[in-house]
């Protein structure tokens, strides 16, 4: 069946650049003769029928805005077979023939299941600040979040130096330490504690015994939020117990990392991926995510995108250590 109408939704955690992607999908679709429908509040809106028609002017003046004009929400209903059936019926009632889903691995997992159950053509865009989707070098929102972290650490560095303190800065990245690791390199932090490495305690002890004590009167350590890392609060508690002579403080950046105007890099990435999503549907592609590999846009099967099989290069931890001497 020929595609005449394309629906767009954003799902999961918001990420800077989602609006740029919505804009690109909408205008590229209209340019190619498709009708466009915006689905509010992600899969929840698909279940409840919150669907509106999108014109070119619907996405005017949004490329610079953080968040998502389509809103986003978690959907317990969509996790059920009955909920997905209702979503499909609402989609068909609205005349939607194909979907573009913008979100992280959970959103793409939902897209894969929905596509398989109801034979719906779906193309996904990786929108998550964590950069934890396989098959793409970067995700929409990652660069902006990284810059937010660097800006925050630069400010903390001033007060850490003034008070001779050890700061643990907790950043997002529940399943991946990209924000912590690359944030540490970019900000000149003394260490990055990430879930990909098993010997986190040793890394902390190494910092205290061999680095901080010998040449530093202040230090900043970036910590990915994860049970494996202990989190910033857990590490600060350990410092209090084992090294009471140091004044350890905790800063949890939290949702600050998701907000703000997207960087030029994220706007460009989102725009290119959004336009390519429509090209993919026009070519008859389905159940694929648009990724970027070595500067080239590629089609990545959903199963590969959500596999969590990529391995982080832990050699970069050594770079953090060497450059913080």
Dist CA 311 CA 196 (whole Å) = 8
Domains and CATH numbers, the chain: 5-141+262-305 (3.40.50.450), 142-259 (3.40.50.460)
pLDDT one-digit tens code per residue, 250-259: 999 999 999 9
Residue 202: its pLDDT value, please?
61
Dist CA 121 CA 112 (whole Å) = 10
| Structure tokens, 61 | 């003046």
Instruction: Tell me the catalytic residues.
Output: 130
Q: How far is CA 24 from CA 129, 260, 299, in A?
A: 19, 19, 17
**Is the pTM higher than 0.85?**
yes
Mean pLDDT of 22-28: 98
Percent of the chain surpassing pLDDT 70: 94
Lowest-confidence region among 2-11, 56-65, 74-83, 196-205: 196-205
**Closest to 272 (Cα-Cα) out of 290, 250, 287:** 290
Residue 200: its pLDDT value, please?
47
Q: How far is CA 73 from CA 36, 41, 127, 199, in A?
A: 21, 5, 14, 36
């Amino acid at each position: 069946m020929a595609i005449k109408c394309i629906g767009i939704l954003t799902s999961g955690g918001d990420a800077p650049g989602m609006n740029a992607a919505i804009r690109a999908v909408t205008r590229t679709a209209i340019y190619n003769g498709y009708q466009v429908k915006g689905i509010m509040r992600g899969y929840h809106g698909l279940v409840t029928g919150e669907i509106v028609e999108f014109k070119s002017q619907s996405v005017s003046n949004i490329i610079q805005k953080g968040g998502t004009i389509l809103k986003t929400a978690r959907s317990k209903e969509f996790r059920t077979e009955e909920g997905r059936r209702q979503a499909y019926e609402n989609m068909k009632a609205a005349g939607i023939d194909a979907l573009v889903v913008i979100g992280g691995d959970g959103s793409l997992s939902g897209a894969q299941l929905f596509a398989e159950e109801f034979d719906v053509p779906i193309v996904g865009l990786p929108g998550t600040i964590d950069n934890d989707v396989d098959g793409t070098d970067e995700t929409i929102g990652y660069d902006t979040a990284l810059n937010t972290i660097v800006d925050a650490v630069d400010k903390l560095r001033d007060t850490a130096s003034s008070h001779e303190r050890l700061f643990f800065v907790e950043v997002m990245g529940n399943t991946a330490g990209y924000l912590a690791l690359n944030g540490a390199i970019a900000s000149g932090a003394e260490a990055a504690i990430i879930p990909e490495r098993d010997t986190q305690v040793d890394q902390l002890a190494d910092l205290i015994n061999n680095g901080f004590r010998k040449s530093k009167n202040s230090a900043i350590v970036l910590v990915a939020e994860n049970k494996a890392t202990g989190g910033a609060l857990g590490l600060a508690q350990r410092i209090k117990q084992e090294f009471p002579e140091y004044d350890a403080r905790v800063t949890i950046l939290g949702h600050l990392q998701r907000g703000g105007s997207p960087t030029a890099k994220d706007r460009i990435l989102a725009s290119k991926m959004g336009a390519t999503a429509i090209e993919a549907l026009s070519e008859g592609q389905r159940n694929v995510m648009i990724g970027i590999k070595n500067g080239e846009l590629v089609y990545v099967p959903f199963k590969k995108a959500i596999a969590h099989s990529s391995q982080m290069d832990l050699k970069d931890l050594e770079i953090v250590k060497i450059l913080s001497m």
